[in-house]
Structure 1
Amino acid sequence: MLRIDSSAQPARRRFHRLGVLTATIGLLGSLSGCGLLGGSDDSAAEGNGPLEKSKIKVSIMPTIDVAPFHLANKNGYFKAEGLDVEIVNAPSGQASVTKLVNGEVDIAYGSYTPFFVVKSQGAADVRIIADASSAGPKSTMVVAMPSSTVKSVQDMAGKRVAITGRNTITDTLIKSVMKTNGVDFNGVQWVEFPFPEIAPALQRGDADAGFLTEPFITQASRTVGAVPVFDTAVGPTQDFPTAGYGTLGKFADENPKTAAAFQRVMQKATVEAADRSKIEPLLVEFAKVDPPTASQTGLLTFQSKLEAARLQRVPDILLEFGIISTKVSADDMIVKPAA
């Protein structure tokens, strides 16, 4: 666990925090590597609004969750609010959060796990500036090959289960469903693979089951014949918050109009993203999937407005399963919209 030595000199403390932070979130991984939706390096047109900071850098990842962000960028919503957005691509959630903490970007997209872990350990004053997604029905699932001995959640005890990383949302959601169904998860053999490699691992027999999100669920079905075993967004994890956009307290406090402009853009684009016909072309354009896969892909539930009670579910479940050791208030982390 990350521990801060209060007796250290300030410079040493900052170095220590950043070094341990990188290692900590590196272990966490991120559910936000779940989808395949890459970004463009093209910036939005120069804004002209009366903002404290018009030019901002935003790190994103190749995930379905950022579809509203791409929609806003393509439709000029950032420009209309006076924002000139430079997109910085990050290969993973830990990389995205590290860029934020290191001051390389102003806003970072990522799964909620690293944001809350960083906050719980006091490594950085992380704030949540906009929501992004929740796990929709059948958008986060455990799948297996038809020949696997895993046919239901009751068969999961002691099995080899492929996930992207230990103590992430991936194994946490699985543990929650197993616990709800009275199945002991302590004997599960967790094997780690990047999302694109989980389906091949199942086909080779390197795992008995695996956790996947879209579009990997659809791709696994189409490429190796994997079949769904159970939905991980049910019961206590139904509509579970999966990812959002974070910033640092310093940025939020010094740039309230800029933060509010970003929030307005994301809310507008999120409402528009409810029209699936506007999302599927983005999957083809950015995820490089074929139109049939895009049409069959189950989408996460896009979110934007920050609701403390809903987001509190994340640190609570992280605390329940020992991923964080201290209680964290989601409400204290939310960037409140400027008047």
Structure 2
Amino acid sequence: MFRRRWSVIVTGLLILCLIIPACSPSSMQETAKVRIGEVTRSVFYAPQYAAITKGYFQEQGLDVELTTTPGGDKTMTALLSGGIDIALVGSETSIYVQQQGSGDPVVNFAQMTQTDGTFLVSRNKVEGPFDWSSLKGTTFLGQRKGGMPQMAGEFALRKNGIDPHKDLNLIQNIDYANIATAFASGTGEYVQLYEPTATVFEQEGKGYVIASFGVESGKLPYTVFMAKKSFIDKNGVTIEKFTNALQKAQNWVQTASIEEIADSIASYFPDTKKEVIMGSVQRYRDQGSFATDGIVDEAEWNNLLDIMQGAGELQQRADYKTLVNNEFAQKAKESVK
């Protein structure tokens, strides 16, 4: 009888030993699903893809669902309608929402890129130093009116003595997804392109990168993770975890080799050669496009407002404290290594 009782006790203890680890805080951590809508698929967003593939979101207990919603208007519509929780898009979209009188502002909480990501591509090779004045009188295939690429492009052109609406034959009526195809088909002498398309065009002899709009327009909150204020207020813990994962990816992208970064994001560009991805990452990192942390600096915010004002897209200066929340990014910068 004693042996039988002792056997039962031992068996019970063994079962408890198996149960207790399974019930530890780390294993009981609830997984929160987060739906992200990115404005486009681009090597420009390498830290985001790295955060997913390297498991940084998963480490924070987040199940991330990523959808590409082409264009700032579509991305913001998805966010406002509840189709996504977090948008990766230009900060100008949050300002447009505010200008329309929204009672639930869209708040920028983690910056990912800090320069424009487009390049000036010429159909023909340019011998010697590029002279911006050579653009006068040419046909320029630009971006959508009111979008950040076009506004930053116009800012850079004006900075270099070019009035885009007087000195150029400016084409803006082609959908974003078809701009590269239109140029490759013979439309325009110059075009504004993101990577990796710019590098692909160079390798195929379809165009040549002659200037960077990112360098010319300076630092600004170009692509930022944002959410409705109501969502942030209700899901502060999730936003904190999200920003921590992003910060870890931002740290890694600054120190990893270009090949390592390319390998980590290659699955998001299945039709792009590895060397093209590497060249694109190298170009963006060299010019400081990847933000080193999620903090949206006020000086960068003011540069954005200046650019929007110059493009005639700003009704009034948007309040930094209303549309920017650096609380989560500041904590992540201090704690995530």
Q: In the alignment, is residue 189 of structure 1 matched against residue 169 of structure 2?
A: yes
Equivalent residue number for residue 247 of structure 2: 267
Q: Is the 8 A contact 1:133 1:242 kept in 2?
A: yes
For 1:202-281, list aligned pairs within 5 A: 202-235=183-216, 237-274=217-254, 275=256, 276-281=258-263
Residue among 269, 273, 295 paired with 2:278: 295
Q: State the distance in 2 between where 1:104 and 1:199 align.
A: 29
User: In the alignment, is the contact (CA less than 8 A) between 2:94 and 2:323 conserved in 1?
Assistant: no
Deviation at 1:199, TM superposition (A): 4.5
Report the counterpart of residue 305 of structure 1 in structure 2.
Answer: 294
- Contact preservation (8 Å) 1:120, 1:327: no
Runs of 5+ in structure 1 lacking a partner? 1-45
CA distance in 1 between partners of 2:62 and 2:315 (Å): 38
**TM-score calculated relative to the size of structure 2:** 0.76
Residue 29 of structure 1 is matched in structure 2 by none
Partners of 1:184 and 1:113 lie apart in 2 by 22
Q: 1:284 to 1:257 in 2, by over 3 A?
A: closer
Give 3-state SS (helix, strand or coil) of 1:312's partner.
helix
Identify which range, 67-76 or 249-258, moves more after superposition: 67-76
Tell me how far apart the structure 1 counterparts of residues 202 and 73 of structure 2 sit (CA, whole Å).
28
In the TM superposition, what are the counterparts of 1:94-173 in structure 2 within 5 Å? 94-123=73-102, 124-135=104-115, 140-146=118-124, 152-173=131-152
Instruction: Measure how far apart 1:243 and its partner are.
Output: 0.6
Shift of 1:203: 4.6
Within-5 A mapping of 1:51-70: 54-60=32-38, 61-70=40-49
Work out the CA distance in 1 between the residues paired with 2:146 and 2:323. Answer: 22
- Sort the Cα spacing of 1:281 and 1:253 in 2 relative to 1 into closer, same or farther, 3 A: same
1:88 aligns with 2:67: yes
CA distance in 2, matches of 1:108, 1:82: 19
Alignment partner, residue 32 of structure 1 = none
How far has the Cα of 1:117 moved from its partner?
A: 1.7
For 1:59 and 1:247, the matched residues in 2 are separated by: 11
Distance, in Å, in 1 between the alignment partners of 2:50 and 2:27 is 17
Contact 2:155–2:310 (Cα < 8 Å) also in 1: no
CA distance in 1, matches of 2:304, 2:204: 33
Separation (CA, whole Å) in 1 of partners of 2:113 and 2:246: 12
* Alpha-carbon distance in structure 2 between the residues aligned to 1:226 and 1:307: 34
Using the alignment, how far apart are the partners of 2:27 and 2:79 within structure 1? 22
1:324 aligns with one of 314, 323, 331: 314
**Judging changes above 3 Å, is the alpha-carbon distance between structure 1 residues 55 and 80 closer, same or farther for their aligned structure 2 residues?**
same
Structure exhibiting the larger radius of gyration computed from Cα positions: 2
Q: SS of the residue aligned with 1:327?
A: coil
Identity %: 19
* Offset of residue 80 of structure 1: 2.1
Give how far 1:132 is off: 1.1
Mapped partners of 1:252, 1:225: distance in 2: 45
In the aligned structure 1, how far is the partner of 2:326 from the partner of 2:149? 29
Greater than 3 Å deviation, 4+ residue runs: 46-50, 192-205
8 Å CA contact 1:68–1:273 kept in 2: the answer is yes
Alpha-carbon separation, structure 2, partners of 1:259 and 1:233: 28
The whole-number CA distance in structure 1 between the counterparts of 2:27 and 2:200 is: 39
**Greater per-residue helix proportion:** 2
Higher alpha-carbon deviation: 92-101 or 258-267: 92-101
Q: Is the 8 A contact 2:123 2:207 kept in 1?
A: yes
TM-aligned CA distance change 1:118 to 1:203, over 3 Å: same
The DSSP-based 3-state class of the residue aligned with 1:302 is coil
Q: What SS does structure 1 have at the residue aligned with 2:222?
A: strand
Shift of 1:195: 5.5
| Deviation larger for 217-226 or 263-272 | 217-226
- 2:211 is paired with a residue whose SS is strand
CA-atom RMSD in angstroms: 2.8
Secondary structure of the corresponding residue to residue 335 of structure 1: coil
CA apart distance, 1:129? 1.8
